[in-house]
């Protein structure tokens, strides 16, 4: 058995596709352990107090950069807003991310308030990327973040 270079689950050595995450196993660069390194990145979309339009432009740039840098998981910090009802940046970022997910431009989107071990999407994500068990926001029900799976 060998680990999948994307999710780390054990697969047969001759497998061309991982049965867990569906990733292609042929022709991928691997590290010394035989696994492709896991890349996770946090991005603070609130930094510099941007307008909603500026935050959405940065969101698009960061997703594009993540693909180029082979980042698998983006943790987007968009804040919750001072009104207590959710801020404009949060609402628009999540709308944009839902749209990108439906178009197939990102693999999955998990709101911070659903990023815990009991939620179905998070359980699946943790089985593919067990490194996320150490994520600082796991289980905190943080409405000011969103987890994006980029492929």
Range of the domain at 134: 38-149
pTM (predicted TM-score): 0.74
Transcribe 14-69 into DSSP letters.
T-SB-TTT--B-TT----TTSSPPP-EEEEETTTT---HHHHHHHHHHHHHHHHHT
pLDDT tens per residue, range 106-132: 999 999 999 999 888 999 999 888 889
Low-confidence stretches of the chain (pLDDT beneath 50): 27-35
Residues 87, 101 within the same domain: yes
* pLDDT for the residue numbered 12: 79
Residues 7, 17 within the same domain: yes
Residues 42, 9 within the same domain: no
Q: The domain that contains 117 carries what CATH number?
A: 3.30.1370.110
Total structural domains within the chain = 2
């Amino acid at each position: 058995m060998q680990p999948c270079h994307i999710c780390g689950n054990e697969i047969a050595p001759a497998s061309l596709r991982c049965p867990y995450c569906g990733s292609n196993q042929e022709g991928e660069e691997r590290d010394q352990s035989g696994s492709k390194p896991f890349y996770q990145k946090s991005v603070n979309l609130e930094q510099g107090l941007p307008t909603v339009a500026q935050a959405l432009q940065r969101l698009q740039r960061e997703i594009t950069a993540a693909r180029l840098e082979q980042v698998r998981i983006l943790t987007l910090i968009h804040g919750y807003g001072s009104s207590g009802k959710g801020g404009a940046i949060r609402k628009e970022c999540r709308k944009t991310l839902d749209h990108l997910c439906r178009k197939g431009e990102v693999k999955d989107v998990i709101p911070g308030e659903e990023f815990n071990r009991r939620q179905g999407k998070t359980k699946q994500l943790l089985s593919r990327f067990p490194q996320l068990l150490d994520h600082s926001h796991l289980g905190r029900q943080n409405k000011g973040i969103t987890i994006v799976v980029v492929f």
